[in-house]
Each structure stands twice: as C-alpha cells, then as structure tokens.
C-alpha cells in the first residue's frame, strides 16, 4: 500500500492506494483512524497521483465527479451504503432516512448513519452530502466545519445556512 499526504483547504489529507484502487482518504483528526500496517510505504503510485490531481480539481471548483478506481474495505452493508453515496449528485444533499429508503431499508437509518461514519473515502464517496432529516448538519468524520466547507464549496449550503 502506498500513501502520501495532500495539503488541502480542509487540512492535510492522508491518501492511500494500491493496485486494487484508492483505499483511504483520511482527515487530519479522524474519528476512526485507519491503522497503518508495516507494509505501508510513503511513495508514488499512479492511483495516488490521479487521486491528488482530481482532489485538487475538486477543491479548485473544476471537478464535480471523480473518476478513480475505488477499493474501500468494509462489510457488505457498508459497501452498499458507500455505493449509494456515490449517487448523490454534486451540490445536493440527502438525509440518512432518504438514504436508508433508497437502499430498501427504511428502518435502518441508524445503521446507515454508522456505515456513513465509517466511510474510508470521504469526499470521493461524498458522505458530507448526508444531513439530518431536519436539514441540520450532523456528525462527520472530518468535523462539522469541514462538512460545512465542502457543502458550501458545492453550493449545497450558503454561508450562514445551518448554523454557518
């Protein structure tokens, strides 16, 4: 597994990939940090290069969708939730309940929230686009200021909205 650090408007991100795809994007103070096994090494990898380039374009306002091979590790349910995140369009939000409904599991709102919180590829799999049923910003692995920043960047949230 190769990894590198990327300076971004939301802090220095840890990004990891291997030949299977992008495995991790981690915020500076993650709620659920991923352990870095001894076989991880800091270095270059074509997927890392491409991920850093696309993240730079996203933060610069020039990219709305990512085109990267993804290889997040998780349970079958987590994988299902993470795939559904990818379907939330840029600049839009969904509630946890709407996401649970979309998955055909309308009573699984809390489980969807837990899976969302374990998303190893935030931004690319846009868990920041999931908000509370009342429209409020709720938990986010990168912190609520980061969530607010990402939603404002995408135009889904105006400065001053939702306690901004």
| pLDDT beyond 50 at 163 | no
36-93 per-position pLDDT tens digit: 666 788 889 999 999 999 999 999 999 999 999 999 999 999 999 999 999 999 999 9
**pTM confidence score:** 0.90
SS3 38: coil
Domains of the chain: 2-59 (3.30.160), 76-153 (1.10.10.10)
20-43 per-position pLDDT tens digit: 999 999 998 767 667 666 678 888
CA distances from 32 to 83, 87, 140, 143 (A): 20, 24, 11, 12
Other Cβ atoms less than 10 A from the Cβ of 52: the count is 17
Gyration radius from the chain CA atoms: 15
**Mean pLDDT, residues 101-123:** 94
Catalytic residue among 127, 130, 153, 157: 127
Residue 147 near residue 136 (C-beta atoms within 8 A): no
127 is catalytic: yes
The first and second tokens of residue 10, run together, are 């939301």
């Amino acid at each position: 597994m190769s990894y590198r650090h990327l300076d971004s408007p939301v802090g220095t991100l840890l990004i990891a990939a291997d030949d299977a795809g992008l495995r991790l994007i981690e915020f500076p103070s993650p709620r659920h940090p991923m352990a870095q096994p001894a076989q991880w090494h800091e270095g270059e990898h074509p997927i890392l290069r491409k991920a850093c380039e696309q993240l730079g374009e996203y933060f610069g306002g020039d990219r709305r969708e990512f085109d990267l091979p993804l290889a997040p590790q998780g349970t079958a349910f987590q994988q299902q939730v993470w795939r559904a995140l990818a379907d939330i369009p840029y600049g839009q939000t969904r509630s946890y309940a709407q996401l649970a409904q979309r998955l055909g599991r309308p009573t699984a709102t809390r489980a969807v929230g837990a899976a969302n919180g374990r998303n190893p590829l935030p931004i690319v799999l846009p868990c920041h686009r999931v908000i509370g049923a009342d429209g409020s910003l709720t938990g986010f692995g990168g912190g609520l200021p980061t969530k607010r920043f990402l939603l404002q960047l995408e135009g889904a949230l105006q400065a001053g909205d939702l306690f901004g």
